[in-house]
């Protein structure tokens, strides 16, 4: 429900009418006076800009003030902790947060939840204090990636056999570890596919490019790679393009932006596992507002994951996920 803004004159008029009728009681809570900050991992990443766009739209629709907060890099763990502490100190109605690191954010989130409801999105943390948690089932996302990679290798070589690699953006990020878990579990269902490299990077696309280039040199029989987030998929895709091996090495990425859609269109990337970050942001604010009012909310909400390939990328649902509104 979209709430219209009441100006001072309207409030006084309403109060006067209520008083004349003998019904004036406590001043009603006005949604526009509610502040719910959203804290993302990295305000510069396109993925997180989509999350913020969803939160911004929810704020507009629900009449809630939504400060958009976050560090400049997913590796700035201490920065996010400080942002959380400062946000809670402002006495908001609730806080929505995507924890950068599972263990380090556990205690700060538990502490923050002593003051306000905390709604988690995207990535988990070592805390049981979340009022609600909205995320992709990242284990399932990893499984989808493994199935997609096996299918791509089959299409390219005629068999589900060969050496494959996994590249993870940063260590100990809850969502990324879950994707890794699901990928490795599902890969076991393809006995002809052997995981020969399991690499961590530092959150930079250039590092993903360098790791992929090194993998191609060290593993001349490599037939597939899963790059488990947007930044690593950018770097891995660039490496395949620069080395001219996109027709020999299948690549599955996670999430999307213009660069990855370009790689998908020209065949550098075989498929993308795409989440619904816009929904995470929108429903995160919507859920936090409900929780701040004491309403019952779901403890866990799966916001979904979809495998988008060259074959289905022009479908209506795929286009909605690949081209979300960020204005």
Q: Taking a C-beta distance cutoff of 8 angstroms, is the pair 98, 121 a contact? A: yes
Phi and psi at residue 271, in whole multiples of 5°?
-165, 155
- What per-residue confidence (pLDDT) applies to 326? 85
30-59 average pLDDT score = 90
45-74 average pLDDT score = 95
CA dist., res. 170 & res. 148, Å (int) = 23
Task: Dump strand ranges (E) for 53-141.
Answer: 68-70, 95-97, 118-121, 132-135
- What per-residue confidence (pLDDT) applies to 13? 36
The yes-or-no verdict on residue 16 having pLDDT over 70 is no
What is the band of 32 on the pLDDT scale with cuts at 50, 70, 90?
A: low
CA dist., res. 311 & res. 295, Å (int) = 43
pLDDT digits (tens, 9 = 90+) for 253-293: 999 999 999 999 999 999 999 999 999 999 999 999 999 99
The yes-or-no verdict on residue 3 having pLDDT over 90 is no
Per the prediction, the chain carries an average pLDDT of 90
Q: 163 forms bridges with which residues in the sheet?
A: 194, 222
For residue 201, the surrounding DSSP H or E stretch is: none
pLDDT digits (tens, 9 = 90+) for 172-213: 988 899 999 999 999 999 999 999 999 999 999 999 999 999
- What per-residue confidence (pLDDT) applies to 7? 38
pLDDT digits (tens, 9 = 90+) for 89-117: 999 999 999 999 999 999 999 999 999 99
At residue 251, the 3 state secondary structure works out as: strand
62-70 average pLDDT score = 98
- What per-residue confidence (pLDDT) applies to 174? 87
Q: 27: how many CB neighbours lie within 10 A of its CB? A: 8
Whether this prediction's pTM lies above 0.85 is answered by no
Q: 34: how many CB neighbours lie within 10 A of its CB? A: 20
Taken in order 6, 9, 11, 14, is the CA torsion positive or negative?
Answer: negative
Q: Kindly tell me the number of DSSP H helices and DSSP E strands found in the chain.
A: 11, 12
């Amino acid at each position: 429900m979209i709430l219209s803004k009441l100006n001072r004159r309207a409030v006084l008029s309403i109060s006067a009418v209520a008083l004349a009728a003998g019904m004036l009681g406590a001043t009603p809570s006005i949604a526009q006076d509610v502040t719910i900050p959203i804290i993302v991992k990295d305000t510069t990443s396109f993925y997180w800009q989509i999350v913020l766009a969803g939160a911004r739209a929810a704020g507009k629709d629900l009449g809630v003030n939504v400060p958009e907060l976050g560090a400049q890099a997913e590796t700035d763990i201490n920065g996010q902790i400080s942002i959380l502490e400062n946000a809670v100190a402002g006495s908001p109605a609730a806080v929505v947060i995507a924890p950068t690191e599972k263990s380090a954010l556990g205690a700060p989130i538990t502490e923050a939840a002593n003051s306000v409801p905390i709604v988690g999105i995207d990535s988990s943390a070592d805390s049981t204090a979340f009022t609600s948690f909205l995320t992709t089932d990242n284990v399932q996302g990893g499984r989808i990636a493994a199935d997609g990679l096996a299918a791509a290798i089959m299409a390219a070589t005629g068999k589900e056999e060969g050496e494959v690699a996994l590249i993870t953006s940063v260590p100990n990020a809850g969502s990324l570890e879950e994707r890794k878990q699901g990928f490795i579990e599902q890969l076991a269902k393809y006995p002809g596919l052997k995981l020969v490299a399991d690499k961590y990077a530092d959150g930079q696309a250039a590092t993903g490019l360098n790791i992929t280039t090194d993998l191609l040199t060290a593993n001349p029989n490599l037939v597939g790679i899963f790059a488990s987030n947007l930044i690593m998929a950018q770097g891995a895709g660039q490496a395949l393009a620069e080395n001219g091996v996109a027709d020999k090495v299948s690549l599955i990425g996670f999430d999307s932006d213009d660069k990855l859609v370009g790689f998908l269109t020209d065949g550098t990337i075989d498929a993308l596992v795409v989440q619904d970050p816009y929904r995470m942001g929108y429903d995160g604010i919507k859920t936090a507002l409900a929780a701040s009012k004491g309403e019952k909310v779901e403890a866990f909400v799966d916001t979904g994951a979809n495998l988008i390939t060259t074959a289905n990328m022009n479908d209506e649902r795929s286009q909605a996920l690949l081209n979300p509104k960020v204005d």
